[in-house]
Amino acid sequence: MAVQLPLDFAERMKRLLGDEFESFIQSYEQSPHAGLRVNTLKISMEQFKEIAPFDLRPIPWCETGFYVPHGVKPGLHPYYHAGLYYIQEPSAMAPVEQLNVQPGDRVLDLCAAPGGKSTQIAAKLQGKGVLVTNDIHSERTKALAKNVELYGVRNAVVLNESPERIADAFPHYFDKVLIDAPCSGEGMFRKDEDMVKSWEHHSVEKCVLMQRDILETAARLLAPGGTIVYSTCTFAPEENEAMIAEFLKLNRDFAVVNIADTAGFAPGRPDWVREMLPDQATETEEVLDQTRGTARLWPHLLEGEGHYVAVIKHSDESNLELDKELHEEKRGAGQRVPESRLLHEPSEDRSFLRSASLPITKADRKKERLLRVESRASNDKSTRGGKHTAKPGKKGKEAGGRKSDRGQGRASDSSSVDPLAVYAQFVNENLVIPLEGETVCYGDRVYQSTVGAARLEGLKVIRPGWFMGTVKNGRFVPSHPLACALRASEAHRSVHLSSEDGEAVRYLKGETLNIEQERLNLLEGAAPKGYVLVCVDGYAAGWGKWLDGVLKNEYPAGWRWTSV
């Protein structure tokens, strides 16, 4: 057998699976299945199929997912760096498909790192609505934020918080909540042998305690009539059917939504709860049978790893009193905006300036005072191409209205530089996009946020919104995440590099390129000099600065192509 399974685990599965056990064990002699999911924020399915550099085979339970042949390395292609697809284990694509996200929804991915399911949710939102993506482990939020940025997500907020604190800030706010719960990881034994080694220490009992708390908190986060998808990558019934039955018993306004018998999904096993946990089964008997409508993904029944998925929906008959003031998110340029903690200040080389474990100093607080202005599309139309710009704040004032002896552009800049005015000027001269939501500044960094600053008060914020760039020395420097989320038609200047002749790889490695002016795509009236959106086969990958036939490379050092 290719994988040495823990003896206790193998004996338990033999008792539970009976005649299916031999097929189950034989699946561990096979290689794990590799998959990718097309990022429809940047490319349509039809377009991707036309240019796909690999042989693709559809994944039955995910319309944007494909198996890739064994040995193929999709991470070693320029399209990966352009964010055209996410490399993801096939079974892991199932939970978001069952969440039934629609454009305009408010969605929370509660245990999100490294971000695969968040990017899947974002693609379904198509830039409309709100995505709040969170992980409680500060180190893991770095990968989460990077993936959200690479895949061009404009409407996400990234948090590093406990579920309880999020529920205090967002009571009954979300239409959909995804819980990819921390679990014992039994379903990943074939894919990751480290999970085998840690299984005995990462006990089922410890996971159950965490899962119970997370589910209860999710109920406080959900709007009336909303949906929770709960998923694990374990076979243990204590963490799956028993957990859902216990939740249903305590929350009578929820019920399981049956998952269709699709693509080899097997039904839930309430009989296992009765066999293994008879006392709990007796307590939850009246709701336990509902868990048959949940789904188990078995490695011997489909091409993927072990997963469990439950869809539970809240009744829309509720007397919940929503926080109307926060729900409506009243905004105004004159409203005082409270301070929030931006734990990891984004930098283009991906080196975060402060660890979450370090104390926040008075100087940090001063630098991170939050400024806000209204930037809704209906209020501030530009005279150029329907673009919208942010309204500048009052010069010489800090967030609380206190007079400052410095400008708002940089913490160390003694001149009166208004970062919002500098930002608005850059947008007018370089982009053709609406600035939706609020323009939010942390020090000299500028974001567009679709949530509203009031809700982020006191939370550990990794990204309050779409990171647009930084004000330096009185000028606006656009960010890499801004470039990643743009289309070529939204930039005044763009250049197209081919993935086939090596030029794109040279750019991704950080090299300066010689680009004749004739190759630049310029909107009418745009001068060739300045920031250029660099595209790989037509899809945005980053920035360059063009002058006199030379394209200076602005691709961040920490993101560069490092393979041979």
Residue 317 banded pLDDT, cuts 50, 70, 90: low
Tokens of 225: 């009539």
Residue 307 banded pLDDT, cuts 50, 70, 90: very high
212-249, pLDDT tens digit by residue? 999 999 999 999 999 999 999 999 999 999 999 999 99
CA distance 203 to 390: 51
pTM equals: 0.84
Residue 563 banded pLDDT, cuts 50, 70, 90: low
380-389, pLDDT tens digit by residue? 333 333 333 3
Tokens of 417: 């530089």
In total, the chain counts a number of residues equal to 564
CA distance 303 to 74: 19
pLDDT for the residue 318? 52
Helix (H) or strand (E) holding 547: strand 539-547
CA dihedral 510, 514, 516, 519 (to 10 degrees): -30
pLDDT for the residue 386? 33
167-224, pLDDT tens digit by residue? 999 999 999 999 999 999 999 998 887 777 777 776 788 899 999 999 999 999 999 9
254-288, pLDDT tens digit by residue? 999 999 777 789 999 999 999 999 999 999 999 99
Long-range contacts of 188-194 (CB under 8 A, 24+ apart): 188/233, 188/305, 188/306, 189/3, 189/5, 189/9, 189/28, 189/306, 190/2, 190/3, 190/27, 190/28, 190/30, 190/32, 190/299, 190/305, 191/32, 191/89, 191/305, 193/3
Among residues 504, 503, 502, 492, which one has the least CA distance to residue 532? 492
**In this structure, what DSSP letter does residue 450 have?**
S
Bin 266: left if φ > 0, else alpha if -120 < ψ < 50, else beta.
Answer: beta
pLDDT for the residue 342? 53
Among residues 101, 152, 157, which one has the least CA distance to residue 329? 157
**In this structure, what DSSP letter does residue 8 have?**
H
Q: Tell me the CA end-to-end span of the chain in Å, nearest whole number.
A: 34
Least confident of 147-151, 408-412, 488-492, 493-497: 408-412
Among residues 317, 311, 255, 265, which one has the least CA distance to residue 288? 255
pLDDT, average across residues 154-162? 98
**Three-state SS letters, 225-282:** EEEEEEEECCCCHHHCHHHHHHHHHHCCCEEECCCCCCCCCEECCHHHHHHHCHHHHH
Residue given tokens 């008060």 in the structure block:
457
Least confident of 97-106, 311-320, 441-450: 311-320
Tokens of 19: 């005649």
507-519, pLDDT tens digit by residue? 999 999 999 999 9
pLDDT for the residue 194? 77
Long-range contacts of 10-13 (CB under 8 A, 24+ apart): 13/235
Residue 435 banded pLDDT, cuts 50, 70, 90: confident
Report the percentage of the chain scoring pLDDT > 70. 82
CA distance 515 to 548: 9
Q: φ, ψ for residue 310 (rounded to 5)?
A: -130, 135
CA distance 484 to 491: 12
CA–centroid distance for 49 within its chain: 24
Buried b (16+ CB within 10 A) or exposed e, 152-169: bbbbbbbbbbbbebbbeb
Find the catalytic residue in 62, 183, 233, 484.
233
Bin 37: left if φ > 0, else alpha if -120 < ψ < 50, else beta.
Answer: beta
Tokens of 320: 């919940």
Higher-pLDDT residue of 227 and 355 is 227
Instruction: State yes or no: cis peptide before 78, omega within 30 of 0.
Output: no
357-415, pLDDT tens digit by residue? 223 333 333 333 333 333 333 333 333 333 333 333 333 333 333 333 333 333 334 35
pLDDT for the residue 2? 65
441-471, pLDDT tens digit by residue? 888 999 999 997 888 989 999 999 999 999 9
Distances (CA, A) of 297 to 52, 189, 242, 505: 28, 14, 17, 38
Pairing mode, if any, of strands 513-514 and 550-553? antiparallel
Tokens of 452: 């509203």
pLDDT for the residue 550? 97
Told to judge if 62 belongs to the known catalytic residues of this protein, a careful annotator would answer no
Amino acid (one-letter) located at 418: D
The maximal CA–CA distance of the chain, rounded, in angstroms, is: 78
CA distance 385 to 428: 9
Bin 439: left if φ > 0, else alpha if -120 < ψ < 50, else beta.
Answer: beta
Long-range contacts of 509-514 (CB under 8 A, 24+ apart): 509/560, 509/561, 510/553, 510/555, 510/557, 510/560, 511/553, 512/550, 512/551, 512/552, 512/553, 513/544, 513/550, 513/551, 513/553, 514/549, 514/550, 514/551
27-67, pLDDT tens digit by residue? 999 999 999 999 999 999 999 999 999 999 999 999 999 99
